[in-house]
Chains A and B, each alone.
Chain A
Amino acid sequence: MNKVARNFFKNSIIFFLLGLGGAIVVVPLLWMLSTSLKGPDALFIYPPQWLPKPPVWRNYIDAWKMLPFGRFLFNTIFITVLAMVAELFTASLVAYGFARWRFPGRDVLFVILLATMMLPGAVTLIPSFLIWRNLGLLDTFDPLTVGAWFAWGPAYIFMMRQFLLTIPKEMEEAAIIDGANVAQIYWLVMLPMIRPAMLAIAVFVFQGNWNNLQAPLIYLNSMEKFPVMLGLKFFEQSLSKEAPMWNYMMAMSVLLALPILVLFFAAQRYFIEGLNMGATKG
């Protein structure tokens, strides 16, 4: 009886702590939602209104229409699709090379790959900018998409290699004996097996492109080419000049967080697997 009581006590404390942490997570999110539905007069009412009366749903439409956000959304999707296809293709092939084929210098090259993961992007930023400028491709989508053919994102190669190391080789060996060439093995044998890792990487590539601000900021000048995050930066700047219109800013924040949240809930498994794929020692 005593033990039961003690367990109950312990569990209550755990749930209390978890609930407290949960409240810290949830309250700002609710605040964001609630602000996004307020009229300009309701923003600074004391005590704060949690359920705006009446909720101003129009904020979302008005904020979206202040800048050509539809166009921005299309740009983000365009950039993401091109970058994702190229990146998944090259990252998986490179990882396949590192994981399964033996060649002189492989281990040294792999250490170099790991080292590039730690290199701050700021060091290569300006020379890369100059390369694109000399190619005459500033203010195009090329710097954000074409470079993906060069297997940028060493973390994805690393994740994929770690995943490949856990897959038995028998299938490939059987395929080789049957006379399949490398392209056939990759397409018919490897691709179906590495699907979970590909999906995990696709999720991260989407998240990365959706949130990317630095590269668009540097490479794109004309507004009709902006992706959504750069649009949000522009939006924030134009709203912050006088009194910031927090209801519009929160409405846009909710809208731009939404796709990522939906993706997260739909593909949670891949988020979590991907994280742990990178973290296990290999």
Chain B
Amino acid sequence: MFSPYLGTLVRWSLVGATMIALMYGTYKGLRLLKVRREAAVGYALILPWLLGLIIWQAYPILASFYLMFNEYDVLQSPRWIGPGNFKTMFFGDPRFWPSVRLTLGYSFLSVPLGMAGALATATLLSRNIRGVGFWRTLYYVPAVLPAAATALLWRWMFAGQGLINTVLGPVYRLLNIAPLTWFSDEKLVLPSFIIMSFWGVFGANTVILLAALKNVPKELHEAARVDGAPGWTRFWKITVPMISPALFYTLVMGMIGAMQNFTAPLFITTPGGVGTFLSVYIYQQGFTQFKMGYATAIAWFLLVLILLLTLVVFKSSPVWVYYEGEKKGD
């Protein structure tokens, strides 16, 4: 009997060797077919990705497109039910819309807030102060913590007798209200997730925006200063347009990431599962309820949501993203 390690090691090596042989074979085969050397090398080099695209992207997408119109519990073969899964999703599942609301609310609030925080921090750090490296490192630390550790930490911070309620104690007494219960209060689950994300996310964005700020030509600011433009105006009319490509990148990537939030919510228990993000819900339906057809249908819904959001951001980008070297139509 193979140990689990040895078995995987053998199969891993075989697949790797096969991949290299296939790349070599592709090159030789294309050369035999009189393909130019440059093209033959190119195709051979991208072969691993191309095969991956077919096996692990294209085929699964087609399969899941088929699967979402089926009822499938893994044990019996898929049963075609047409739009049945979508009917359940939109009209019959009391947990679906709350999950959509939570996911969308989280993306719409946490990403822009995180970007604003990152921009403010990056602006402070870009002012040639002493010890930039130290501050940059410090602010980046929460972003490198494992999401699971961050989630556990904040669950504890938000606990009934956790640090946050202890600090807020005098405020509660002043206003004469009962202490907030954060993740245990249905209405406060979303704000709690947003506060947690604010601590965790803006480190990486700060680094990206700081690099962008450093690339803004000093002459622009000098010229504007000579013309008597105050700091605030210079920030909005020069800095923001010049770094808008970086803002655009962080916005798009942040949105896509936030829509797929998975690990943190898995570590946070909420009353009645109101803190179930869509990705978690897909996992639960597919792998604990074994409703694979239904889970796939929700996954496609998530895909469409992400596409729509990305499209909106992309369509609006000519209005607010400025690429140097491109003509602006005004």
Contact of A146 among B12, B153, B279 (CB under 8 A): B12
Q: How far is the CA of A127 from the CA of B60 in the complex (A)?
A: 5
Contacts of B292 in A (CB 8 A): 126
Query: Which segment, of B84-92, B105-113, B154-162, B232-240, faces chain A?
Result: B154-162
> Is A113 interfacial (CB-CB < 8 Å)?
yes
A174 at the binding interface (Cβ < 8 Å):
no
| Residue-wise interface mask of A (29-54) relative to B, using a CB-CB cutoff of 8 A (1 in contact, 0 not) | 10110010000000010111000000
Report chain B residues within 8 Å CB of A123: 60-61, 64, 296, 299-300, 302-303
Return the chain A residue nearest B285 by Cβ. Answer: A126
| B303/A119 in contact, CB under 8 A | yes
Residue from A89, A150, A224, A256 having most chain B Cβ neighbours under 10 A: A150
User: What bracket does the count of chain B residues touching chain A fall in?
Assistant: 35 or more
CA distance A253 to B59 in the complex (A): 38
Whether the pair B295, A214 counts as a contact (CB closer than 8 A) is no
Q: Which of B2-57 contact A (CB under 8 A)?
A: 4-5, 7-9, 11-12, 15-16, 19, 23, 27, 38-46, 48-53, 55-57
Interface status of A240 (Cβ within 8 A of chain B)? yes
Cross-chain contact A102 with B56 (CB below 8 angstroms): no
Q: B124 contacts the other chain (Cβ, under 8 Å)? A: yes
Q: Which residue of A lies closest to B50 (CB)?
A: A109
A264 to chain B, nearest CB (A): 5
Decide if B60 touches A28 in the complex (CB within 8 Å).
no
On whether the beta carbons of B199 and A98 are closer than 8 Å, the reply is no
Query: Chain B 236-274, CB within 8 Å of chain A: the 1/0 string?
Result: 000000000110011000001001101100110100000
Contacting B8 at CB < 8 Å: which of A133, A146, A281? A146
A182-210 vs B, CB cutoff 8 Å, 1 = contact: the mask equals 10000000000000000000000001001
Report Cα–Cα, A265/B4, bound state, in Å. Answer: 34
Using an 8 Å CB-CB cutoff, how does the interface string of A113-141 with B read, 1 for contact, 0 for none? Answer: 10010111111111111110100010011
Interface residues of A in 70-116 (CB under 8 A from B): 78, 82, 86, 89-90, 93-94, 96-98, 101-104, 106, 109, 112-113, 116
With contacts A25-B199, A214-B283 taken as known, whether A48 is within 8 angstroms of B166 at the C-beta atoms is yes
Q: Does B121 contact A (CB under 8 A)?
A: yes
Q: Which residue of B lies closest to A130 (CB)?
A: B63
Interface flag for A159 (CB, 8 Å): no
Which residue among B27, B51, B145 has the maximum number of chain A CB atoms within 10 Å of its CB? B145
Other-chain contact of B16, A44, A97, A149 (Cβ < 8 Å): A149
Asked if B142 is at the interface (CB within 8 A of a chain A CB), the reply is yes
Residues of B within 8 A of A (CB): 4-5, 7-9, 11-12, 15-16, 19, 23, 27, 38-46, 48-53, 55-57, 59-61, 63-64, 67, 74, 121, 124-125, 127, 129, 135-142, 144-149, 152-154, 156-157, 159, 161, 163, 166, 199, 204, 207-208, 211-212, 245-246, 249-250, 256, 259-260, 262-263, 266-267, 269, 278-279, 282-283, 286-287, 292, 295-296, 298-300, 302-303, 306-307, 310, 323
Partner of A118, one of B48, B144, B310: B310
Assess the A281–B153 pair: CB atoms within 8 A. Answer: no
A256 to chain B: which residues have CB within 8 Å? 146, 148-149
Contacts of A118 in B (CB 8 A): 256, 306-307, 310
Closest to A29 in B: B141
Q: Which 8 pairs across A and B sit closest by C-beta, in order of nearness? A: A97-B45, A150-B52, A101-B42, A103-B42, A127-B60, A124-B60, A103-B39, A127-B63
Q: What would 10 more interface pairs be, CB under 8 Å, given A123-B300, A127-B67?
A: A21-B139, A94-B48, A119-B303, A123-B296, A145-B8, A213-B262, A253-B148, A272-B140, A272-B207, A279-B246
Q: Known contacts A98-B46, A126-B286; decide if A28 and B262 are in contact (CB<8 Å).
A: no
B269 → A minimal CB distance (Å):
7
Question: Nearest CB to that of B249 among chain A residues?
Answer: A279
B60 with A97: CB separation less than 8 A: no
CB-CB nearest in chain A for B51: A150
A124 to B323, CA, bound (A): 34
Are A268 and B8 interface neighbours, CB within 8 A? no
For residue B161, which residues in chain A have a CB less than 8 angstroms away from its CB?
44, 46
30 A-B pairs in the complex with CB atoms less than 8 angstroms apart: A14-B127, A18-B135, A28-B199, A78-B5, A82-B12, A89-B16, A90-B19, A94-B46, A120-B303, A123-B64, A124-B57, A124-B64, A126-B295, A126-B299, A141-B5, A141-B8, A142-B12, A152-B56, A182-B44, A211-B263, A214-B263, A214-B283, A217-B283, A218-B287, A246-B159, A256-B146, A260-B145, A268-B137, A279-B246, A281-B249
